[in-house]
Amino acid sequence: MGKIQNDLGEYRKSYGKSALTEDSISDNPMELFQKWFYEVDASEGVDETNAMTLSTIGLDGFPKNRVVLLKKYTYEGFIFYTNYTSEKGQAISIDPSVCISFFWANMERQVIIKGKAEKIAENLSDGYFESRPEGSKLGALVSNQSSVIPSREFLEAELRKLEKAYAGKEIERPDHWGGYLVRPVSIEFWQGRPNRLHDRIRYSLQEDFHWKMERLAP
Ligand SMILES: Cc1cc2nc3c(=O)[nH]c(=O)nc-3n(C[C@H](O)[C@H](O)[C@H](O)COP(=O)(O)O)c2cc1C
């Protein structure tokens, strides 16, 4: 082994903030998601409650995770925005199966969602794009996300060009940028408990569109 060695075996934490019991939760996982989201958002110690890890199955056969921001959720599912030609966009175009997860450390909670991603309607992406600050709009335009670029200077020069070109003009949403809706097929809620006896409740979507709820061993 080289010089770097850091044994983390002694890192250990006991969880005891909350519990998840069948009698206290909704038949619909989106309602439980909303309850948890509100509770975490109202609590101290989470910077971006809506930051989630999105995992796709890459064209190279590897899964890949990255963080994106949840911008909306409804009974239908979870919406985030990105560049459709990015590595994740290309992956989704071949295989829409994705996994998203949240780890809200301050409340000792994890949510894991498996689902299928689909592009949202163009007018919805337009609406969200329109609401973004100008700098973010130009950023979406300038960045050919996930492509290799020669340098930081190249990116900044491209941005300056666009700033000139669009001075005083309206910036429209480029076709390559927009939202995805992840329609969930399973949603698992994990609540840390003492002695590693954590609570895990999984909801799975059935063929008749009702949600089946099961408790999993921690
Ligand atoms: C806190 C945080 C929030 C992010 N939000 C987004 C987002 O909403 N959309 C997005 O495309 N990338 C977002 N990113 C950047 C992605 O993690 C990633 O670098 C980018 O989307 C390119 O991923 P890809 O090359 O795998 O497609 C965010 C990163 C962080 C750390």
What are the per-10-residue average pLDDT scores of the chain (218 residues)?
85 92 94 97 94 97 98 98 98 98 97 98 97 94 93 95 94 96 98 94 97 98
Question: Which position has the token pair 């997860």?
Answer: 101
Active site residue 202: no
The protein residue with its alpha carbon nearest to ligand 1, atom 28, reads: 68
- Cα separation, 73 vs 137, in Å, equals 22
- Ligand 1 touching residue 191 (CB < 6 A): no
Ligand 1, pocket-test mutation among 47, 67, 73, most atoms within 8 A of CB: 67
- Cα separation, 84 vs 216, in Å, equals 35
What is the atom index within ligand 1 of the atom nearest the CA of 86?
27
Backbone angles phi, psi at 36, to 5 degrees: -65, -45
- Ligand 1 touching residue 68 (CB < 6 A): yes
Which 3 state secondary structure label does DSSP give 78?
strand
Distance 190 CA to ligand 1 centre (A): 24
pLDDT of 2: 73
Q: Check if the beta carbon of residue 10 is closer than 8 Å to that of residue 68.
A: no
Nearest to 189 by CA among 120, 98, 107, 93: 107
Q: Check if the beta carbon of residue 19 is closer than 8 Å to that of residue 191.
A: yes
pLDDT of 1: 58
The token duo for 211 is 């949600």
pLDDT of 148: 95
pLDDT of 12: 87
Nearest to 117 by CA among 62, 55, 63, 60: 55
pLDDT of 3: 86
Distance 68 CA to ligand 1 centre (A): 5
pLDDT of 81: 98
The token duo for 71 is 């911008």
Q: What pTM was computed for the model?
A: 0.96
Distance 3 CA to ligand 1 centre (A): 32
From the candidates 193, 196, 200, 202, which is the catalytic residue? Answer: 196
Packing angle between helix 134-142 and helix 152-165, nearest 10 degrees? 120
The residues, any chain, with a CB within 8 Å of residue 92's CB and separated by 6 or more, are: 56, 98, 117, 180
